[in-house]
Amino acid sequence: MKKVLAKSLASIYQGFIWLWWMSYWKFPSRVKRIPARVISIGNITWGGTGKTPLVIRLARDLMDTGKKVAVLTRGYGHDEIQELRESLPGVPVVVHRDRAKAAALAVRSFGSEILLLDDGFQHLRLHRDLDIVAINATLPFGPGGLIPLGTLREPLEHLSRAHAFILTKSNLGSKNLHWIRQKLLSIKPHAPIYEAFYKAVDLKDLIRNESVPFVRIAGKELAVISGIEDPFSFEKTVEHLGAKIVFAARFNDHHAYTAGEIAHFINRCRKIGVGCVVTTQKDVYRLKPLLEQKDVLKQNPDFRFLVLRVEVTIDDEENLLRRCLNP
């Protein structure tokens, strides 16, 4: 019964998607043009592609060319906005549901020359000069098809709108790369396809604010906690550092943790003899204020909450940057 209902809802959703797309195709005057180069970094699935590190990397590289860069985001999660702002000092991060208004503001207020449209593939109201779609190599098109059967925001054939693709988490999903490339090229022949590799670069004690060498967790039993769309890629990265995960607490993307949940989590860790936890950079902004406010760790002084920070490397990045810069 649930599957039948999900299929019906997916069909209705597809109808809305078609009407939405046609409304821009039939009336191109609805698309707003801005006197700056607009680069969209989006996806076709609901979350989990690792867009934020990608946006950060491209913003830094484009800034290094001497261009004035701004990031435009709708701001689905407060954590992503904080991560962007802390990782990109000097880069305006403009938050607005209407990205066309955000773009106009960035040009007017900051003189921005390049606008990075975060999660913009479905935001057709703003003209973009380069449409990049990120595909998670570990789970490229999600399970089950369109929402709510699966996580697809649009039918796969809509990828023909994209100008380029980046296969994210390629080091974790290497076995899928060949068939993903074949699928993408069947939809968009001759499209440039890049690979992005996510590498752990830093491990920091959340409360003590000190760096912890990776060797400290190698061979150690620990727990992980995350409220992200793709916890499995995060957990694989922790395991690649040599740690053994004996307990994984997985919450929904952007989950607002409660003091009760954290207390329960720590108690569960205690029961299984674990005194060390690793979480993601994205989760820091939701976990740290809670831990400090509720004094949870003062009751567990030897308990360690570690934050894993990752950075992205893109193959043939010079070629990608040329496409970003050149009309």
Give the pLDDT confidence score for residue 294 in this predicted structure: 57
Sequence ranges of the domains in the chain: 31-198+313-325, 200-311
Integer CA distances (angstroms), 59 to 20, 70, 91, 131, 325, in order: 30, 8, 8, 15, 12
- Provide the H-helix boundaries in 65-131: 78-87, 99-110
Element (H, E) at 288: helix 281-294
**DSSP code for 169:** T
Contact 201, 309 (CB under 8 A): yes
Whether cis (ω within 30° of 0) applies to the bond prior to 92 is no
Could you list the pLDDT tens digit for every one of the 327 residues in the chain? 677 787 888 888 888 888 888 888 888 889 999 999 999 999 999 888 989 999 999 999 999 999 999 999 987 767 889 999 999 999 999 999 899 999 999 999 999 999 999 999 999 999 999 999 999 999 999 887 899 888 999 999 999 999 999 999 999 999 999 999 999 999 999 999 999 999 999 999 988 889 999 999 999 999 999 999 999 999 999 999 999 999 999 999 999 999 889 889 999 999 999 999 999 999 999 998 888 775 666 677 788 999 999 999 999 999 999 999 986
> Any idea what the Cα angle at residue 128 is, between residues 123 and 133, rounded to 5°?
70
Supply the pLDDT for residue 132.
98
Burial 312-324 (b: 16+ CB within 10 A, else e): bebeebeebbeeb
CATH topology of domain 200-311: Rossmann fold (3.40.50)
Q: Is residue 102 a contact partner of residue 75, using CB atoms and an 8 Å limit?
A: no
Q: 31-198+313-325 with 200-311: one CATH topology?
A: yes
Distance, in Å, from the CA atom of 55 to the CA atom of 248, rounded to the nearest integer, reads 28
Q: How far is CA 8 from the centre of its chain?
A: 29
Looking at residue 27, its pLDDT comes to: 86
CATH number of 31-198+313-325: 3.40.50.300
Predicted TM-score (pTM) of this structure: 0.92
Structure confidence by residue, pLDDT tens digits, 95-108: 998 999 999 999 99
pLDDT in tens, 243-302: 999 999 999 999 999 988 988 999 999 999 999 999 999 999 999 888 877 566 667 778
